[in-house]
Amino acid sequence: MNRFYYKNIFLYSSLQFVGNVEEYFAKHTVKLVAFVLMPRQQPNSSLVRFYKRGKMIEEKKVSLSKNIFIYYLLWYVYQMFFLVKYFSNKEKVSVITFHPNTLLGMSLQKMIRNIEFVYWIADYFPRISIALILLEKLKEFYNRKLKYVCYLSDKINQIMNGRIVHTAQRKTVMWGILPKNIKRNIDKNNFTILFVGVIRESQGLEFVFDFLKTNKDYSIKIIGEGDSRLFDKYKKKIKEYTIGDQVYFPNRFFEDPELEEISKKCKVGIAVYDTDKTSATYYTDPGKVKTYASLGLPVIMSDVSAIASYVKKFGSGKVIEKNNKELKDALLEISDNYNKYLEGVNKFNKYFFYETYYKESFKFLE
DSSP 142-189: HHHH-SEEEESSHHHHHHHHSS---SSSEEE----B----------TT
63 within some domain: yes
pLDDT tops 70 at residue 17? no
Q: Kindly state whether residues 166 and 198 are assigned to the same domain.
A: no
Domain identity same for 235 and 305: yes
Residue pair 11/36 in contact (Cβ under 8 Å)? The answer is no
pLDDT band with cut points at 50, 70 and 90 for residue 276: confident
Is residue 340 within 8 A of residue 333, CB to CB? The reply is no
**What whole-number distance in Å separates Cα of residue 141 and Cα of residue 118?**
14
Q: What's the mean pLDDT when you consider all of the chain?
A: 92
Q: Is a pLDDT exceeding 90 seen at residue 355? A: yes
Q: Amino acid identity of 107? A: S
Q: Give the residue-averaged pLDDT of 135-151.
A: 96
Establish if 186 belongs to a structural domain.
no
Beta bridge partners of 120: 150
Whether 239 is in a domain gets the answer yes
CB 309 within 8 A of CB 292: no
Q: Are residues 15 and 94 in the same domain?
A: yes
Q: Are residues 37 and 138 in the same domain?
A: yes
CA-CA distances (angstroms) from residue 81 to 71, 78, 86?
15, 5, 9
What is the pTM assigned to this prediction?
0.89
| 83 vs 33: CA distance, rounded Å | 8
| pLDDT value of residue 273 | 85
Instruction: Give the range of the structural domain holding residue 279, as residue numbers without chain letter.
Output: 191-351
**Residue 280 clears pLDDT 80, i.e. is over it:** no
What are the distances in angstroms from CA 21 to CA 24, 42, 234? Answer: 5, 22, 33
Amino acid at 258: E
Of 226 and 178, the structure prediction assigns the larger pLDDT to: 178
- Tell me how far apart the alpha carbons of residues 84 and 91 are, in angstroms, rounded to a whole number: 11
pLDDT at 182: 84
Domain count, the chain: 2
> Is there a single domain that holds both residue 286 and residue 208?
yes
Check whether 286 has a pLDDT greater than 90: no
Instruction: Tell whether 150 and 15 lie within a shared domain.
Output: yes
Q: Is the same domain home to 13 and 63?
A: yes
Q: Give a yes or no: residue 101 inside a domain.
A: yes
Q: Are residues 116 and 77 in the same domain?
A: yes
pLDDT in tens, 151-170: 999 999 999 999 999 999 99
Element (H, E) at 228: helix 228-240
Inside any domain, residue 305: yes
Let me know: does 178 contact 20? Beta carbons within 8 Å.
yes
pLDDT above 90: percentage of residues in the chain: 77
What was the pLDDT predicted at 189?
Answer: 66
3-state helix, strand, coil in the chain (%, to 5): 45, 20, 35
What is the percentage of the chain residues whose pLDDT exceeds 70?
A: 96
Tell me the average pLDDT across 347-358.
97
CATH number of the domain enclosing 198: 3.40.50.2000
Same domain for 160 and 200? no
pLDDT at 129: 87
Residue 183 lies in a domain: no
Same domain for 265 and 284: yes
Q: What average pLDDT does this structure show over 288-297?
A: 94
Residue 188: predicted pLDDT: 63
Q: Per the domain annotation, does 123 fall within a domain?
A: yes
Residues with Cβ within 8 Å of 191's Cβ and at least 6 positions away in sequence, in order, are: 217, 218, 219, 267, 268, 331, 335
pLDDT digits (tens, 9 = 90+) for 293-351: 999 999 999 998 889 999 999 999 999 999 999 999 999 999 999 999 999 999 999 99
Residues 141, 12 within the same domain: yes
Q: Which of 21-30, 170-179, 257-266 has the lowest mean pLDDT?
A: 257-266
Q: Confirm whether 137 is domain-assigned.
A: yes
Q: Do 116 and 199 share a domain, yes or no? A: no
Tell me: the pLDDT tens digits for 44-61? Answer: 779 999 999 999 999 999
d(CA 354, CA 19): 8
